[in-house]
Amino acid sequence: MPELHDLTALDQLAALSDGEISPLELGAHYLTRIARLDGRVGAFAEVTADAALARAEHLARSAPDGALWGLPFGDKDLVARAGVPTRFGSRLHRDFVPDATADAAAVLDEAGGVSLGKTSTPEFGLTGYTETQIGPPARDPWNLDNGAGGSSGGAAAAVAAGLLPLAPASDGGGSIRIPAATVGVVGIKQSRGRVPFAAGLDSPGGLPVAGPIARTVADAALLLDVQVAGRPHPYATQAPGGGPFVEAAQHPTAFARIGITTVSPWDDADDIRLDPEAARAVDVAAALLADAGHGVDPLDWRPRGYAELFTTIWRMSAARMTLTDAELELVEPITAWLVREGRTLSGAQVLDALAAASAFERDTITAFAPFDAVLTPALALPPQPIGWFDRADAARGFSQQVRYAPYSSFVNVAGLPALVLPVTVDPSGHPVSVQLIGRPGGEAQIIALAAGLEQQVGRMPTPALWTM
């Protein structure tokens, strides 16, 4: 007989709505798993068991109301929740407890969700791995010697280990897709402007946005719908196209033109080597899409000059943090390096990088325009051991991140939607993922395509921790 965490998030919601289980029963189930397993996984920076049970008990006394009514989730530790420590993965904020709740958390509360605590993130969400000075690393539930990726590493690890049914996350250069692909779950990065409270439109280059992580495409689409509907757009036009995206997941596309590329915009700047299993996953996904009746063709794409514009914008974004010289001595070396490098940039360098980013966005959208979606690897390398990323030599550590995940950040620069999902398993049994990139506002298209792929692939295996 399946346990509660074996059910999809949508099935859990149906059981809650039908009265087969209560919010209190479901919350207690996940809290018990967290207490038993998270010491090994490192998915949570803070567990708020008492508050979660009180919230679940309150919901249980009322009729179901809201798209997430009674469903557990976890806030990423970059998101403020009143009365709960919010550390941003940094010892600078070890004792910070905010007075107000951020929109990213409030919209899930308003949809009836139950926060179980804070999921782990690297310092200020700046890296593609989740190892900090203030807590244990987030680990890949498939192999606990390996990291879970970042910056939403705790969120992805929690979903993959069955500690949460789904989790909100954020993505400024791959921070949803990198960890989701690392641990073999589904992650969606929105189009720039899609989610009102994290549209990307108020940051340099428009990079950071919000999105979901879940075990299935439909579950991820459900959470994306909640994030999109949670707030009106106060100053920006919403991305074109629309949901509900959970309906797109339930109606796979009959025909689409798919472009395929293993080219990354970092190829002319770093030593990018595609792992054979990552290449095989792309080949398998392409064959499955062709078998489903889609048009699948190579994409001739040769981007140039990307590395300089992205590293400039990344450093510029870090330089906006108001850290004193004394505080820079306390943060991670890569944080200090990015901030100090960013503060050396001239106004002309910043403006040139932003102009180059706009040109890259136009050129990429033009190159991708003949296709409804573009298929790429999700990662270039398999999951790496804890400690593999050099945390002392910041420049080397940055290069390692590029070599690990060269297919992620350019999607943020172009403002496009993207989705990662597992399609194969490697010889060890670990899932291997691919990425589908959509047109501007094309979430529904890639969600529908991914749902069709998911059906063709069938149920993926679960890590040994799943049954513990």
Active-site choice (90, 115, 120, 151) = 151
Distance (Å) of CA 32 to CA 75, 137, 271, 360, 421: 18, 21, 44, 48, 28
How many structural domains comprise the chain? 1
Active-site choice (76, 118, 191, 408) = 76
**Is 191 in the active site?**
no
For 139-177, how does the pLDDT look when each residue is reduced to its tens digit (9 = 90+)?
999 999 999 999 999 999 999 999 999 999 999 999 999
Q: Hey, how many other C-beta atoms are within 10 angstroms of the C-beta on 300?
A: 9
For 423-451, how does the pLDDT look when each residue is reduced to its tens digit (9 = 90+)?
999 999 999 999 999 999 999 999 999 99
**Is 76 in the active site?**
yes
pLDDT at 202: 86
Distance (Å) of CA 378 to CA 114, 137, 278, 365, 461: 30, 22, 8, 19, 19
Distance (Å) of CA 126 to CA 2, 215, 277, 317: 38, 25, 27, 10
Compute, in degrees rounded to 10, the torsion defined by CA atoms 213, 170, 463, 398: 150
Residue 7 lies in a domain: no
User: Which stretch, 158-162, 193-197, 250-254, has highest mean pLDDT?
Assistant: 158-162
pLDDT at 252: 83
Residue 13 lies in a domain: no
Residue 86 lies in a domain: yes
Residue 8 lies in a domain: no
Q: CB of 266 within 8 A of CB of 174?
A: no
Is the pLDDT assigned to residue 328 strictly greater than 80?
yes
Average pLDDT, the chain: 96
Core vs surface per residue 256-278: b (16+ CB within 10 A) or e: bebbbbbebbbbebeebebeebb
Tokens 């700047």 belong to: 269
Compute, in degrees rounded to 10, the torsion defined by CA atoms 260, 265, 269, 271: -30
Q: CB of 355 within 8 A of CB of 147?
A: no
CA-based nearest residue to 9, from 59, 79, 70, 74:
70
CA-based nearest residue to 375, from 442, 429, 297, 273:
297
Q: CB of 239 within 8 A of CB of 204?
A: no
Residue 181 in tokens: 């692909």
For 207-236, how does the pLDDT look when each residue is reduced to its tens digit (9 = 90+)?
999 999 999 999 999 999 999 998 888 777
Amino acid present at 372: D
What's the rounded Cα separation, in Å, for the pair 374 and 370?
10
Q: What is the mean pLDDT of residues 82-110?
A: 97
Q: What is the mean pLDDT of residues 232-246?
A: 81
Q: What percent of the chain has pLDDT over 70?
A: 100
Q: What percent of the chain has pLDDT over 90?
A: 95
What's the rounded Cα separation, in Å, for the pair 231 and 260?
35
This prediction has a pTM of: 0.98
Residue 17 — very low, low, confident or very high, per pLDDT cuts 50/70/90? very high
Q: Hey, how many other C-beta atoms are within 10 angstroms of the C-beta on 85?
A: 17
pLDDT at 243: 82
Q: What is the mean pLDDT of residues 75-96?
A: 97
CATH number for position 34: 3.90.1300.10
Is the peptide bond between 244 and the residue preceding it cis, with omega within 30 degrees of 0? yes
Residue 5 lies in a domain: no
For 114-123, how does the pLDDT look when each residue is reduced to its tens digit (9 = 90+)?
999 999 999 9
Residue 217 lies in a domain: yes
**Is 317 in the active site?**
no
Is the pLDDT assigned to residue 403 strictly greater than 80?
yes
Strand order in the sheet with 114-119: 44-47, 114-119, 72-76
For residue 462, the enclosing domain spans 19-467
Residue 1 lies in a domain: no
Active-site choice (90, 152, 175, 408) = 175
Residue 6 — very low, low, confident or very high, per pLDDT cuts 50/70/90? very high
HSE (CB half, 13 Å, CA atoms) of 411?
36
Residue 262 lies in a domain: yes
For 20-56, how does the pLDDT look when each residue is reduced to its tens digit (9 = 90+)?
999 999 999 999 999 999 999 999 999 999 999 999 9
For 196-208, how does the pLDDT look when each residue is reduced to its tens digit (9 = 90+)?
999 999 888 999 9
